[in-house]
Amino acid sequence: MPPHDHPLWRPYTQMKTAAPPLEAVRTQGSRITLADGRELVDGIASWWTAVHGYNHPHIAAAVARQLEAMPHVMFGGLTHAPAEQLARRLAALLPKGLDHVFFTDSGSVAVEVALKMAVQMWRNRGVAGRTRFLAFRGGYHGDTMGAMSVCDPDEGMHRRLGGYLPRQIVCDLPRSPAEASALDGTMAAHRETLAAVIVEPLVQGAGGMRMHPPETLAEIGRLARRHGLPLIADEIFTGFGRTGSLFACEQAGLVPDILCLSKALTGGTMALAATVATGEVFEAFWSDDPGAALMHGPTFMANPLACAAANASLDLFAGEPRLDQAGAIAARLAEGLAPLSRLPGVRDVRVLGAIGVVQFVRPPDLAALKQRFVERGTWVRPFGDIVYLTPALTIGTLDLDHLLESVRGVVHETLSA
Ligand SMILES: *Cc1c(COP(=O)(O)O)cnc(C)c1O
């Protein structure tokens, strides 16, 4: 019988067998303090959100001011300066053409909105039957229904929900010009039923930290354009400096039709997401017919506290050398992880921006690995067959070296066990 005295149900967790979670009581910079007084150097930045480190005073002050003035107000029929300002700033920072910003409260919902935008765009234009999506194996786009349907259907974590989800067209990411022609054929075969193509630019995050070169991304963009298919770029993981540029699409010179943001949008302080569309997409909803409007509107849409945090986070990107810091982290990760690539049990070591990945030949005992990292005073969360680091872009050299030392140590221990 399961216990009845503990009401918390935890994320992605087998409640029967998982080790109990550690209790965190404080964060600061790149450190997490536990209830028992231990301090961990954070290698994950809380699921890639805390790009400026924890408790950045500039963000904290902005949120505190907003809390005094107006913590929340409904977004139907009302607007407010934090949202107006944030929409303008995002449109100015994103690749040219992405000018229409729709706020929601989580990455999965930003993806849902992107999918709805694409489907309804075709309906509004009077084109019937375009309700499916072309997605890529190894992809991860979130945990809600539409988002789950465009994740990897076989290796992804939602495979038990198969019969419940809409069936999409799932392809391999091309690795060469020859493979790109296979994708060309698939697009040609399905174009009449496809609403859009969805991709995580440059790196598939939660699906296994798989990377592809900018040329591949540019080729996917070219093929989609050739077949008249809108492209949705899910930059929820890659946005805000993680891959070394502010947005990953920039590296391929790609302007998607729809782009999703969340994770680091508020600098890791608050739930907020955005789906940003080009004028061409927006135009399909511009009508005298109320039924042609985009039918979405979360209760906490454009929450003023979250928008204030996001504006403060953008101030930091403007005023502090975050992209240079990402570049410096990339160099240190490459140097620090390189020795592991020679080990027989290691399949691959790869780095892109502030993302460093070690992939094992065989999936390791994840619970044991997680425990070893904590024993070394670090917070690192391996999954599948990989150990990875995605630290805050502001992490100090000593803390980063501690993380690298800890990864090298744990990988060695794992392979010699
Ligand atoms: C995390 C993530 C999502 C889902 O975001 P949530 O805020 O967890 O719903 C979607 N797409 C990508 C690429 C992500 O990394």
Kindly report, residue by residue over 180-197, the tens digit of the pLDDT: 889 999 999 999 999 999
Cβ distance 160 to 125 under 8 Å? no
The DSSP secondary-structure symbol of 228 reads T
Q: Is 105 annotated as a binding residue?
A: no
Q: Measured in angstroms, how far is the CA atom of residue 191 from the centroid of ligand 1? A: 27
pLDDT at 4: 78
For the sheet containing 39-42, what is the strand order? 24-28, 31-34, 39-42, 378-379
Q: Residue 192 burial by CB count (10 A; 0-12/13-18/19+): exposed, middle or buried?
A: exposed
Q: Is 54 annotated as a binding residue?
A: no
- Neighbour count for residue 271 (Cβ, 10 Å): 18
Beta bridge partners of 103: 274
The pLDDT mean for the chain works out to 96
Q: Measured in angstroms, how far is the CA atom of residue 107 from the centroid of ligand 1? A: 4
pLDDT at 377: 98
Q: Is the CB of 107 under 6 A from ligand 1?
A: yes
Q: Is the pLDDT of residue 22 over 90?
A: yes
CA–CA dist 273, 257 (Å, integer) = 17
The DSSP secondary-structure symbol of 237 reads T
Cα-to-chain-centroid distance, residue 385:
19
pLDDT at 5: 83
- Neighbour count for residue 131 (Cβ, 10 Å): 14
Whether pTM > 0.95 for this model: the answer is yes
Verify whether residue 388 is a known catalytic residue.
no
pLDDT (average), residues 61-87: 98
pLDDT at 180: 84
pLDDT at 166: 93
Cα-to-chain-centroid distance, residue 215:
21
Kindly report, residue by residue over 262-276, the tens digit of the pLDDT: 999 999 999 999 999
Kindly report, residue by residue over 65-76, the tens digit of the pLDDT: 999 999 999 999
Which atom of ligand 1 is nearest to 205's Cα? 15
CA–CA dist 8, 68 (Å, integer) = 31
Verify whether residue 164 is a known catalytic residue.
no
Look at strands 231-234 and 194-199 and give their pairing: parallel
Q: Is the CB of 242 under 6 A from ligand 1?
A: no
φ, ψ of residue 352 to 5 degrees: the values are: -145, 120
> Could you tell me the pLDDT band of residue 212, with boundaries at 50, 70 and 90?
very high
Q: Which of the following is catalytic: 42, 140, 257, 388?
A: 140
Q: Measured in angstroms, how far is the CA atom of residue 209 from the centroid of ligand 1? A: 13
Give the CA dihedral 377, 380, 386, 390, nearest 10 degrees.
-120
pLDDT at 80: 98
- Secondary structure class of 134 (helix, strand, coil): strand
Q: Is 257 annotated as a binding residue?
A: no
pLDDT at 86: 98
